[in-house]
Structure formats: structure tokens, C-alpha cells
Structure 1
């Protein structure tokens, strides 16, 4: 941590497109949501009141490269901890756990994972969901989007029959959709392992990782993580 204490600055990579989770408010230009809130709380502990936290937008595809290339000191962007990702970056202890879900129109006959067979599925590039859908339905027609919000748009515009994404993301996107009453989110997490979100950092920085883990454990024990969840997600 000495390098960051000296500069009193951290850069966090977060999503800008999911209200409640990670979002850039176009009216205020502020970065809002649960994960930016966690990043701010971490920075307060690691840097103190005089420290500076900056945000940079990362798409799913950009999350790990942002760490590897030094664009961000840490990335909090619905990044599930997986063995292959652990070969590229280090992860903090988990700060949130969610499941796999699908989003469909309410008048859709799709009600389960099996009902997706032969359907057009919207997924975000470089996501765990795209891996899972390819494995479950080899050769299925996938509508691949750059941003998570694109999966919602694909269903709303009729370009996909369902969107596969993290359950919490789908619930938040539905909540803030133009016509949420026309959409439904279905939990299919029983078919897959849970998704554990961790903070990604560059390898070879054990002091930073240890301080990051201590900060997250403190935020959990103090109830700050739960407060941020209630405030931003409900």
C-alpha cells in the first residue's frame, strides 16, 4: 500500500450502465450505485479523508485489461471469481454473491433453463453468462452485446427471446426499464455455481491485496456492505 498512500489516489474501474449497481448519472455526472459505493468505502479506509478516488468506465471485456494495463488500480464491476481469471489477476475476498438469471417478456413461454433451447439468447461479451449459455446450448443463436444494458435492450426490441445475466443485474435493469411491468426475471441459479464478485487487482502486489481484503472484511463486519446494498439495490 505504500505507493498509494504516497500518491493518496486510487482509480477504480466500474460499470456505468446499470442503475443501482454501477451507473453514471447523466444529469449530475456522478458515478452512483452499489459498487462505486463499495469502492469509495474502501478508499476511505485505505487512503483516509485526504485521499482521492477516481472512476473509469469498464465494459465486461475491458475489466481485466484495465487492471493489467494500469488503467485501474482495482476493478469492481460484477466480476465473478473464476480459476482462469485468477491466472491473470488477483482477487479480493468476495464482497457480493449472486446467481444466474434470465430476463424475458411476461408473455413469453420461457420459464426455465430448458425452455431456452432453440431460442435467441442475449448475453454480454466476456461474461460468465455467455460461457454458460454456450456450454448449455452449443450452437445456440446468441445476441452478444458490449454493455450489460444491451441484453435488456435486445429483449425489449425483439432481437432476443431472453437475456442471460447475473440475477442482480437483471432485477436492477428491469426495475429501471421503460416498461418493467412487461418484463420478468427468472432465477436459474440452481443449474450453476453461485457468482462470487471480487475486486480484481494486478498480480504481484501482496501488500495492496492484504489491505484491500482487510478493508472489505471491515466493511462487512461494520454493516457497511449491507447498508450500501439496501440503499442501492434494496
Structure 2
């Protein structure tokens, strides 16, 4: 009887162990074991991520993703998404990290984790030269285009409640809307404005006012301290070596702030 009981308990224990899911390693170990890193980036953003003349992904965010994969010694799998899908993609673990001109904000930090800043951008309101706009209050009753789920969208929604806000799914669609005359006023970033004016032709849109200067972080799932530490160390190393600033300047024709590493995440 005792022998049968012992065998029965052993069988139950074995069945319990088999039913348990396999223990998951941390994200950094998983990436190294898989031999590849899935990096999400928002395509259609001038200078940051776009399709070049050879129909290949290019831009500072794409190059940053390549540099990270090279430093890890793994292959790069580029996950191309829209601006609106940036945070959800990381929350759903559809990518290991996100390098997609995503500004570090308190609201986003509730959903995903961020590294120290790796780049910056200025968001602005722009419009025709003869339209007098100096602040949000001047947007009352006016039609302004924004890219959905961006800081631009949030700031215009909060500060210009009486404006007619037209939301587009990505920067490429917003650029087309300006070029085709669907909107005259936009809240965007300086790199996108340059692309708008190039495609629009004729009288260019002017910067009316700067809404905010933003620090951009690499986003990753929460509770992945080893991956975050590796990325923070990578940014610090590549910034101090000059590789990251040189690459950024190649695309944006401007320098990264000298105090970038001292800014809080």
C-alpha cells in the first residue's frame, strides 16, 4: 500500500511539473538565444525612418536599430509599424524593443519602459506665412492636421480645444494631406515640415511656434531590467564614442544636445 501511494504521489508530481509552463528567461537572454532582435520602427517619418531610393528602410532610427543588432551580435528583424501602433506593439510583445522617435512622457511610462534619451526633436505648429498664429489660442476655429497618437496630437487636443483637429494615421499621410490642400495648419516636427514643403511646392509653411522640445527614448516592455541596463550602457558608450551623434547628424544635419546623457529618463 505504501509503495503504491509513493508511486501515485510521484506520478502526480511528474504530471504537475509537465503541466507547468517552461520558465522564461529575461528578454536580453531570449534575444541572444534566438540570435535576432525584433526592433519596431514607425516608417514614413522623414529623416527618422523612411524608404530610400533603393526601396530599402533608411533613417536615423533604422540605423540605430542596425547598430544595436550589430553590438549584440544578432540579426535584425525590423518590425515596420505606424505611429499609433508604437506603444501597443511593445505592450503586446510584438517586438523586443521600439526605436521610433517616441518621446518619453509620464503617460507612456505607465505602459512601457524607456531608456535614457538617444535622440531629440522639436514639435512645432506651422502654417502659411500670411496666417498670424503665435500661440494655441490663435488656433480657435481653425483646421489643423496632426498625426494620431503623438505628443503633437495630445498637446493640440489639450491646449486648443476649440480648434478643428484632423487626425491622420501616420506622417506620410499628413504630408500628402498638406500637399493636396486638405489642411493648411499642422502640428508636426521640423523634419516632417521640411518634407511637407518639398512635396507641397509653392509657398512653404512657416514655423509659427515651438510647442515643445522632446527627448526620445528606446521603448521596451516593463520589468526587463537587464535589457534596459544593456541599452542604457549602449547609448552611453555610443554617445561618448561619437558614433551615435555622428550618425544622427548625417541624417538630420544638426547636433544632438551635449547634455543628452545627463537628462533623466
- Give me the TM-score of the superposition, normalised by structure 1: 0.88
Deviation of residue 175 (structure 1)?
6.2
Q: Which structure 1 residue ranges, 5 or more long, are not aligned?
A: none
SS in 2 for 1:218: helix
The CA deviation at 1:142 is 0.9
Which residue of structure 2 aligns with residue 15 of structure 1? 42
- TM-fit CA distance, 1:184: 2.8
Give structure 1 regions of 4+ aligned residues with deviation exceeding 6 angstroms. Answer: none
Give the aligned partner of residue 247 of structure 2: 228
* Partner SS state of residue 17, structure 1: coil
- Kindly indicate whether residue 29 of structure 2 is the aligned counterpart of residue 2 of structure 1: yes
Q: Equivalent of 2:230, from 204, 211, 214?
A: 211
Q: Tell me how far apart the structure 1 counterparts of residues 218 and 170 of structure 2 sit (CA, whole Å).
A: 19
What is the alpha-carbon distance in structure 2 between the residues aligned to residue 175 and residue 13 of structure 1?
28
C-alpha contact 1:103 1:183 (8 A) present in aligned 2: no
Q: How does 1:140-159 map to 2 (within 5 A)?
A: 140-159=163-182
The 1:187–1:213 alpha-carbon spacing in structure 2 relative to 1, beyond 3 Å, is farther
Cα distance in 2 between the residues matched to 1:122 and 1:149:
12
Which residue among 56, 61, 68 is the counterpart of 1:35?
61
Q: Unmatched 5+ residue regions in structure 2?
A: 1-27, 254-265
- Structure 1 residue 133: deviation in Å? 0.8
Q: Which residue of structure 1 aligns with residue 13 of structure 2? A: none
CA contact (8 A) 2:45 2:192 kept: yes
Name the residue aligned to 1:195: 214
Q: CA deviation at 1:91?
A: 0.3
**Aligned pair partner of 2:199 in 177, 181, 184:** 177
Asked if residue 132 in structure 1 is aligned to residue 155 in structure 2, the reply is yes
Structure label with greater radius of gyration: 2
Counterparts of 1:110 and 1:197 in 2: how far apart (Å)? Answer: 30
Shift of 1:177: 2.3
Identify the structure with bigger relative contact order (alpha carbons < 8 Å, sequence gap 6+).
1
Aligned positions, number: 225
Map 1:2-151 to 2 at 5 A: 2-25=29-52, 28-45=54-71, 47-48=72-73, 51-106=74-129, 108-113=130-135, 114-151=137-174
CA RMSD of aligned residues (A): 1.9
If the length of structure 2 is used for normalisation, what is the TM-score?
A: 0.78
> Larger % of helix: which?
2
Say whether the 8 Å CA contact 1:125–1:144 is kept in structure 2: yes
Once residues 97 and 19 of structure 1 are traced to their aligned partners in structure 2, the CA distance between those partners, rounded to angstroms, is 14
